[in-house]
Each structure stands twice: as structure tokens, then as C-alpha cells.
Amino acid sequence: MFKFTKYLLLFMLTGTGNAFAQSASVGIFDGSGDVGAVKHKGSVLYNKSLQQYTVSGSGTNIWFNHDEFYFVWKKLKGDFILRTNAAFVGKGTEAHRKFGLMVRKSLKGESAHVNAVVHGDGLTSLQYRRLDGDSTAEQKSGIRSAGVIQLERRGTTFTMSAAQAGEAFGPEEKIDLDLGDEVYVGIFVCSHNADVTEKAVFSNVRIVKPAPVNLVAYKQYLGSSIEILDMATQNSRIIYQSPKSLQAPNWTTDNKSLIYNSEGTLYKYDLATNTPKALDTDPAKNNNNDHVISFDGKWLTISSGDGGPSVGYVVPVDGGKARRVTQLGKGASYMHGWSPDGKYLVFCGERNKNYDVYRIPSAGGPEERLTTTDGLDDGPEYTPDGRYIYFNSVRSGLMQIWRMKADGSEQTQITNDDYNNWFPHISPDGKWIVFITFLKNEVEPGDHPFYKHVYIRVMPASGGPAKVVAYLYGGQGTINTPSWSPDSRNIAFVSNSDLLFPAFPISKN
């Protein structure tokens, strides 16, 4: 009887494809554990400061009619977007060791599922099992050795996107698959060898709940996350979340705070204490996401539409009496930049139904029109040496980045690609330009709405190819205004989702 009980217990724990030992929550996930009859127990380590997951997993495969691997998961309903940057640790043993993103009907080894997977030999594919116990099918991606993968569910349609790190996503792979409303979603590692354990590091792990199709734009909003991106490593950390719409963080020149807007109010967010404080900007009380800190760190130029078109003001960086600088009755003015000497402001002005770049003395005075083409010219910003103003313009068809001399002469197109590029921001050391990119199949050239698939890209100020440094769900308010850290090593930006995770600081406002 003893032997029977002993071996029955052993079979229950390790010998069945349905065994799953759940662990406690980790990071943004509800639990983790081995799926299937693995020989070597897997694990996950969460680096809270970097918000990275190191996952170790064994298992013979994720294939045929059952799976063996280590899974870190969260239960979700409805539509969602999963995304991560990931890479194996070490050379590895098997060419088909795997890491990826997975959605499963259950935690049983034979469960129906879909996954976006990267193999040790570089193969990147969308794999799926339609029904419990069915054989696994595969759609191979044209991208090899993907460093960034995304798996999105809309209804019963799953879409995989993949890219080598720094590149835009390549062609999508799609499958229609009904796994039920509530599913297990997360990250995984499989060694493809029962006697081996493999390891991968997952960074920028995001589970996004996107805007519903019936969301009313500019009247209904998703929650927001303020993130800080390390430009050298491309690792991004969420530092603050709110169920409200947070927009356009500026980084103060003393490296202590971020200034952002929410529901018409400007807030100063203390980076040391993770707390925001509302700024007094009276009489400007309906502020939008066009606000910029002066190069000396003492002043803000802000934009406020108090019952009418947006108007430009200047206010002390810690708040105080706001002084109007643009004229009433001329049309909307959206403030975007200071000259390094503090003498001039540049803004996007709507005059006679046309949007152009204007310059105006910060002390007040007549405005000067710097661009004259039809269509939208927006987002003007001075270089730190004061020689140039960068801006974005739709004049060549798609929205692209342009540059002109400070007096408006020699207007030259800087980017010329198949995307819509907005809001160029020059690093304090003058070496880099960061901007946000919208997809032309999602967004018209003259629009920059909320809640879209966007990239943050960077390019040398001296010219050269642009590379992607962040893949996210956002758009309006993500990076409308300058957000570089004073040392040019980081940027702050906003991403969006209606799902908030207790692993990060959450607003109580």
C-alpha cells in the first residue's frame, strides 16, 4: 500500500500532462508554474527596479497534442494586447528552445492555445491548437530572431507582430480562434529538451486593454501610465498610473520632477516621492498638453482654452500668476518651444483655417509667421544652440519631420519614410532627435489621436536612419512636448490602457 500511494502521488505531481503547481503573483501576473510533465522545475525571478522577468523553463516541446514549458500568466477577459522585448540567456543547447507570449484556454498540457514564439535558431512564428488535444499548427513569420513580439486579441482574431529590436514590426500573422472569453495570458520558456533548462529575460512586458470600438474620442478616456525609457538599453519602467488621462510629461532641468497635464490642470510629479502636486496657473484653468519648460528651468509656457480657442501663457515653473502672451481673437495657439536665451516662444497657430509655425517674444509683442505652406505645420522646437527650429509638416503628403533656421529660412525635410512622424524633440546635448510615429493605415497624416499603435523613434541630429526605441499603445499626449532628462539619457512618455496593475504606483486622485 505504501508503494502504491508513493507512486500514485509521484504520477499526480509529475506524470500527467495536466499537472500545474501554481505560485504566488509576480509583477503584473497572477501566478506562474510548469505546464505539463516537465522533468526539471522552472522558475521566474522579477527584478522590481527594472521591471524585468527572468524565466527558466524545461519541457520537451510546445507541439503536437500537448505541451511542456514554464508559464507566467494572468487571467483576462475581452480584447487585449500583449507585448515584450525578450532574449535568451546564454548559447543554449537546442535549436528549437523557445520563448514567447501565450494565450491559453486552460493550464492543462493539452489545452487549446495560441502563441507568438521565437526559437533558438531564429524562427519566429504564430503557433496554435484549435481544440484541447488537437495537433499544433504554425504560421511562420518572415522576421528572423525577433527581439520584440506582440500578440493581440480582437474578438476571436489573434494577430502576431514581430520585429528585430530597433526595427518597425514586419508583416502580421493572423488566425481566427475562439478560446472563450476568459483566458490565461503571459510569457513562457520551453527548453525543447526534457533534460535541459533554458532561460530568457523579458523586458517592457505589457498587457494592454485597448479602447473599445464604441469609445467616444476626446470625451471618454482610458487610464494612463507614465513611463521612463532608458535610451541606451531601451528598457522602460512604469513609474506612475492613473485611471484618468495623463498627458505630455516635461522633465524639469533640476532632474527632480515631471510636469504633466490632466483634465485641464498641470501637475508637478516628484520623482523621489512618486507624488503629484497641482500647479496654480490662474487665470489659465483649462490647460491642454502643449506646455514647455524654458532652457533655464525657471518658466513654463502653457496653452489654455478657457471657453474658447487655446491661448498661450507664461507662468513660473512652480506655479503662479499666468501671463498671456498670444493675442485673443486671432485663432488657437499651441505652445511648443522656447529659444535657448528665453527671448522667444514658438507655437502652432491656427490663423484663417490654416495651421503654421509662429514666433513671438516671450515678454509679449507681435507674432511672426515662419511657415506659409497650406496644411498643417506643428510641433516647433528650438535646438539647444538656437540655430534651428525642428517641426512636423504634412506638406509632402505624409506627416514628416522638417527643420528650418531660426528665422524661418531654409526649410528642409528631415524624415522621408512611409509613416506619419510627429513632435520632434532634440536632446539637451544636441545629439539626438526623438519623435512619435503613427501608422498610415491607422491614422490620417494630419491627425494624432489617442489610443493607437505607435512607435517612439530616435535619429541622430546630424542625420541618419531612425530606430524604434519604444513600441506602445498611445498617441495624443504620449510625447507632445519635450521630455528628455537633463543628461540626455532618458525620456518620459505616456502609454494607455484601461487595465491598471497594482505592481506600480497608482494615483489616488
The residue-averaged pLDDT of 77-98 equals 97
- Least Cα distance to 136 among 112, 155, 160 occurs for 112
The residues, ordered by sequence, that sit 6+ positions from 408 with a Cβ below 8 Å of its Cβ are: 357, 359, 368, 369, 370, 371, 389
Q: How confident is the model at residue 424 (pLDDT cuts 50, 70, 90)?
A: very high
Q: How many angstroms separate the CA atoms of 114 and 175, rounded?
A: 9
- pLDDT, tens digit (0-9, with 9 covering 90-100), for 366-406: 999 999 999 999 999 999 999 999 999 999 999 999 999 99
Q: How confident is the model at residue 46 (pLDDT cuts 50, 70, 90)?
A: very high
User: Among the listed ranges 5-19, 65-79, 198-212, which one has the minimum average pLDDT value?
Assistant: 5-19
Phi/psi at 10 (5° precision): -60, -40
* Rounded percentage of the chain residues whose pLDDT exceeds 90: 92
Residue 481, judged by CB atoms within 10 A of its CB (0-12, 13-18, 19+), counts as: buried
Q: How confident is the model at residue 500 (pLDDT cuts 50, 70, 90)?
A: confident
236 or 12, which is more confident: 236
- pLDDT, tens digit (0-9, with 9 covering 90-100), for 176-210: 999 999 999 999 999 999 999 999 999 999 999 99
pLDDT at 3 over 60: no
Q: How confident is the model at residue 22 (pLDDT cuts 50, 70, 90)?
A: low
Ordered strands of the 223-230 beta sheet: 236-242, 223-230, 490-497
Q: How many angstroms separate the CA atoms of 381 and 394, rounded?
A: 17
Ordered strands of the 388-393 beta sheet: 377-382, 388-393, 400-405, 412-413
- pLDDT, tens digit (0-9, with 9 covering 90-100), for 315-364: 999 999 999 999 998 999 999 999 999 999 999 999 999 999 999 999 99
pTM of the model: 0.94
Q: How many angstroms separate the CA atoms of 171 and 335, rounded?
A: 38
Asked, as a colleague might, if the bond just before 283 is cis with ω within 30 of 0, I would say yes
Residue 147: other Cβ atoms inside 10 A: 18
CATH superfamily of the 223-497 domain: TolB, C-terminal domain (2.120.10.30)
Strand partners, 230: 490
The residue-averaged pLDDT of 463-482 equals 97
Rg of the chain, C-alpha, whole Å: 25
* Rounded percentage of the chain residues whose pLDDT exceeds 70: 95
pLDDT score for 2: 33
> Would you list the domain boundaries of the chain?
18-208, 223-497
The residues, ordered by sequence, that sit 6+ positions from 127 with a Cβ below 8 Å of its Cβ are: 62, 63, 114, 115, 117, 136, 137, 138, 139
pLDDT at 119 over 60: yes
Angle at 116 between CA 206 and CA 150, to 5 degrees: 35
pLDDT score for 509: 62
Q: State the DSSP code for 22.
A: -
Average pLDDT, the chain: 94
pLDDT score for 503: 80
Angle at 188 between CA 187 and CA 192, to 5 degrees: 160
- pLDDT, tens digit (0-9, with 9 covering 90-100), for 463-472: 899 999 999 9
CATH for 18-208 (3.40.640.10, 2.60.120.200, 3.30.230.20, 2.60.120.10): 2.60.120.200
Residue 156: other Cβ atoms inside 10 A: 11
Secondary structure element (H or E) that encloses residue 5, with its range: helix 2-14
Query: Cell 476568459 maps to which residue?
Result: 182
pLDDT at 114 over 70: yes
**DSSP string computed for 230-242:** ETTT--EEEEEEE
pLDDT at 21 over 80: no
Secondary structure element (H or E) that encloses residue 6, with its range: helix 2-14
pLDDT at 111 over 70: yes
